[in-house]
Amino acid sequence: MRSALHLKNDKLHSLIGLARRARQVVLGSGGVENSVRQGNSKLVILPIDAAPNTRKRLCDKCSFYNVKVITVGTKDSLGKITGGDEVAAISVTDNNFAQALKSLYKEINGGGSNGET
C-alpha cells in the first residue's frame, strides 16, 4: 500500500499533467523566463537537478517579478509528467492551477520553505 506522501506526490504530478493538457503551462527555461518577464507566469516549477545557472537565473527573475518558485521531481520525471523528454522548468500560467499546486505542495512539505521561494 502506498503512503499518504506518495499519493499526494502522485496528485501533484497529475495536476501538473492536467495543466499541461489544458495548455496552461510553458515548458523549458527560455520559455519560462519569457513567461515570467511578460507577467503571464503564476508559478514556476523547477526540478531538483536543474543546472545551478538555470536555477539562479530563474529564481532571480521570479523574485524580481514576484512569482513563486517550487521544486518538484527531476528533469526526467517532469518530462514524463508533461509528455516529453527532460524539462528544465515549467511555468504555470493559470491562476487556479497555480493556487492548487501551491496548496498541495505546501501540504506535502508541511508548509515549510523547503525548496520554495
Helix (H) or strand (E) run with residue 61 in it: helix 52-64
The answer to whether residue 101 is domain-embedded is yes
For residue 76, tell me if it sits in a domain: yes
How many folded domains does the chain comprise? 1
CA dihedral 53, 87, 107, 35 (to 10 degrees): 70
pLDDT confidence of residue 100: 95
Label residue 113 by pLDDT band (50, 70, 90).
very low
Annotate 67-107 with DSSP letters as a single string.
-EEEE-S-HHHHHHHHTSS--S-EEE--HHHHHHHHHHHHH
* Domain CATH number, residue 100: 3.30.1330.30
pLDDT confidence of residue 66 = 97
User: 105 is written with which cell numbers?
Assistant: 505542495
Residue 109 above 60 pLDDT? yes
Query: How does pLDDT run across 88-105, given as a tens digit for each residue?
Result: 999 999 999 999 999 999
Q: Which domain holds residue 57?
A: 4-108
